[in-house]
Amino acid sequence: MPAASDDRLAVWMSFGAVQGMLEPMTPLGQDAIRHLFGGAARMFGSRLDLDRPSILGLAGERLWVRLDFVLRNPLGRRLAPRVLRLLEPSVGRIVAGLRAEPGLGGTVPNSRHPQPIGHFDTRYCLHLDWLSSGPPAHLGSPQLSCSTGRITMRIRKLAAGLVLLLAGAVVVGCSSAAGVSTSSTSASPTSGGAAEPITVVASTNVWGDLAAGVGGDKVTVTSIINDPSQDPHEYQASGQNQLALSKAKVVIENGGGYDDFIATMLKAVNNSSATVLNAVTISGKTAAGGEELNEHVWYDFPTVLKVVDRLQSTFSSIDADNASVFAANATKLKDSINAMVTKQGELKTQLDGTPLAITEPVPLYLLEAMGLQNKTPEEFSEAIEEDSDVPPTVLRETLALFSGKAVKLLAYNEQTTGAATEEVLKAAKDNGIPVVGFTETLPEGKDYVSWMTSNIEAVQSALQQ
C-alpha cells in the first residue's frame, strides 16, 4: 500500500486485476490512468500532482487512488455511495458509513471519540464480494482491527467506474459487463430452513442452462462464458470468475481442450473439493487414429443425455433430501431432448447424404445425425478453428464447392469470423446456397432445448427452399 502523504484518515483503493488482467500494470497503462484521474480530480476541487503520491500512489506495481478526497467533497459524498452500490452493494454500504467519520467531515452520533472503521486485511480483500459474504474457506476469516485510521480495499474491477465516479458522472456497464465475465442463474433458498442451494459453475451457459434445468431452484448456477458475440476460445480469467470457482461445489467443463482455463483457475483458487464434470469424458468419445476429436459435444444429444444423468446423480449425492426433485427435472429435460432425437431421425430419412459445407465443425454432430455429409476440405475448417491462415489452394477448393453447386447448405459459425470465412459466406450467397448460422453459446432468450429446436428447424427450412 502507498505510504501516507498526510495524517488525515485515508481510504485507498487499488486496481488489483482489472477485467481479468492479472499481471502488473505497464508503465503506459499507469500513466494513462494517472492523467485521467488528474482531470477528474479537478472537478472535485482537488489538484492532482502527477509527480507526487498525494491522491494516486504506486505500490506492488499497482496504482492506488485515495477515495477520501471524494468523500470530503459535498457532491462526492452524495454520489459515491449511490454509484458504488450499483457496482458492488457491499462497498456502497461501507462508503455510506464512512461519511459519518469525523476525519472525513462527518459526525458520529452518541460518541465522544472518533470510531475507526477498521483495517481490512488485504490478504482477504481481493474481491469486494468477500466483504459481505466472506472469503473462500481455504483463505480463513477476514481480520478486523479497530485501532487504525486507514482503510484498505483491494478492488479488482472498478477502474473505469472509479474514473467516472471522480468526474461525478453516472457509471454504467462497468461491473460484470466489462470483458467476458460471469452470468448467474440465481436460485432462491427454499423456505422452512432448507439447505442452501448447491453452487454450480459452468464454463459456458450451454452447460449452465442444463445444470439449471436439472437443479431448478435447488442450485445456483454461474456461467463463465455467456455472450454469443464473443469467441469462447479467447477467454481470459477474471477475478470475479475465480471467486465463483473458489466457492463452487460442482463445476461443469466441456473438456477436449475447449475450456482448459477451468482446470487452471480451479488450481489457482485451490478448490480441490468441487466435483468436476467433464462433458467429453462423460461422452466416452475419443479421436480416431490420426484425427482430432470434435470437442463441441453439446451439439451431440446422446452426450447431453449422459451429462444430464450425471448432473442428476451428482446433485442427489450432495442434497439427498431433494433427490426426487432432481430426478423429476432430469426426466422432463431428457424427454424434451429425446423428442429432438426423434425429429433428427425423421429428417434423416429425407436428408440422408445431403452434402453441406462448414466453416468450423461446431454443429457437425447435430447435422450428421440428420443425415448431412460434410464436404469441406479438412484443412479449411482446421485453419479457421485454429485461427491460422487458410492455404490459397485450400480456399479455392472450398469456394469451388459453391460455384460448382456441390453443396446444398453452408453451416456458418457466427462467433468466429475472418477474411476466409467472409469469402466463403459471400460465395454461398452469390451462388444461392442457403446459409444457417450457429453459435457456441446460448443466444439471448433461449434455453438449451428451444435453441437446439430452432437449429433443427432452421436447417430443415433452408433445405426445403
List, for residues 388-401, the tens digit of each pLDDT value.
Answer: 899 999 999 999 99
Residue-level pLDDT at 64: 66
Residue-level pLDDT at 36: 65
Residue-level pLDDT at 207: 98
Residue-level pLDDT at 447: 97
How does 153-182 read in b/e, with b if 16+ C-beta sit within 10 Å? bbbbbbbbbbbbbbbbeebeebbbebbbbb
Residue-level pLDDT at 241: 87
Residue-level pLDDT at 171: 29
Angle between helices 74-87 and 89-98 (to 10 degrees): 160
Residue-level pLDDT at 191: 35
Residue-level pLDDT at 11: 76
Residue-level pLDDT at 197: 96
Residue-level pLDDT at 160: 39
Residue-level pLDDT at 110: 38
Q: Which residues pair with 135 in a beta bridge?
A: none
Residue-level pLDDT at 57: 67
Q: Which positions of the chain have pLDDT values less than 70?
A: 1-8, 12-65, 69, 74-75, 82-93, 100, 102, 105-194, 229-234, 236-237
For 274-306, the pLDDT digits (tens) are 999 999 999 999 988 778 899 999 999 999 999
The answer to whether the CB of 214 falls within 8 A of the CB of 329 is yes
Residue-level pLDDT at 170: 29
Residue-level pLDDT at 251: 98
pTM above 0.75, yes or no: no
Of 101, 102, 96, 61, residue with least CA distance to 82: 96
End-to-end alpha carbon distance in the chain: 66
Residue-level pLDDT at 240: 83
- Give, in order, the Cα–Cα distances in Å from 439 to each of 232, 304, 443: 10, 17, 8
Residue-level pLDDT at 228: 72
